[in-house]
Amino acid sequence: MAQTSLLQGKRFYCREWVFHKIQHCLQEKTNNLIGVTSSTPCKQPPVAPGGGASNPSTLTAGSTKAGSSWGVLLVGGPGSGKTALGTELLWPSSTQGTQRGMQLQTLAYHFCRADDSDTLCVAGFIRGLVAQICRSGVLPGFEEKVREPAVQSTLQPGECERNPTEAFKR
């Protein structure tokens, strides 16, 4: 499923502080991979400039285990800016700013749309990410792993819906 955003191509305003937070989290992971130690994991809700709390969204960047999966997950209520932020990260509307170049670090993405049930289905989310990662060619051996019968069976419609955690792990 090819994913886009309804906001693609629209002008984006503000929230530069969130891009700094994401960049910090990703840089922290890079530093940890090359031997620079960090005292705290970057898993915290963002704070708006001036110290005030942000909208009800949460920015989480983390690894499931040392040296494995890494990513940023934006979670929030309707209207909190998740789609706008994700769109600006993937298709920057500005030629300046922290968000420029972050799309080069993107392996896969998913946008949920309340009016499109396919985007709300966990199995569609998993299969969409798998397809994007396969097309990227960035992870050596990933496509071969996905072709394995055990992995294919977990990605099948029905099975993926029944056991999405197993499908995501494989």
Asked if 74 contacts 82 with a C-beta cutoff of 8 angstroms, the reply is: yes
What 3 state SS string does 109-165 have?
CCCCCCCCHHHHCHHHHHHHHHHHHHHHCCCCCHHHHHHCHHHHHHHCCCHHHHCHH
Q: Is the pLDDT of residue 52 over 90?
A: no
Percentage of the chain exceeding pLDDT 90: 21
pLDDT of amino acid 5 = 73
Percentage of the chain exceeding pLDDT 70: 64
Give pTM, 2 decimals: 0.66
DSSP character at residue 99: T
Asked if 7 contacts 87 with a C-beta cutoff of 8 angstroms, the reply is: yes
The model's confidence at residue 44, banded by pLDDT at 50, 70 and 90, is: very low
pLDDT of amino acid 32 = 54
Asked if 109 contacts 3 with a C-beta cutoff of 8 angstroms, the reply is: yes
Better-scored residue on pLDDT, 29 or 1: 29
Q: What average pLDDT does the segment 5-12 reach?
A: 69
Measured distance CA(108)–CA(87) in Å, rounded: 13
The model's confidence at residue 84, banded by pLDDT at 50, 70 and 90, is: confident
Domain spans in the chain, listed from the N-terminal domain onward: 1-113, 121-170
Measured distance CA(89)–CA(82) in Å, rounded: 11
Q: Which of 17-21, 67-71, 145-149 has the lowest mean pLDDT?
A: 67-71
Burial class (CB in 10 A: 0-12, 13-18, 19+), 164: middle
pLDDT of amino acid 148 = 95
Asked if 61 contacts 72 with a C-beta cutoff of 8 angstroms, the reply is: yes
Mean confidence (pLDDT) of the chain: 74
Question: pLDDT tens-digit profile of 107-125?
Answer: 888 988 888 888 899 999 9
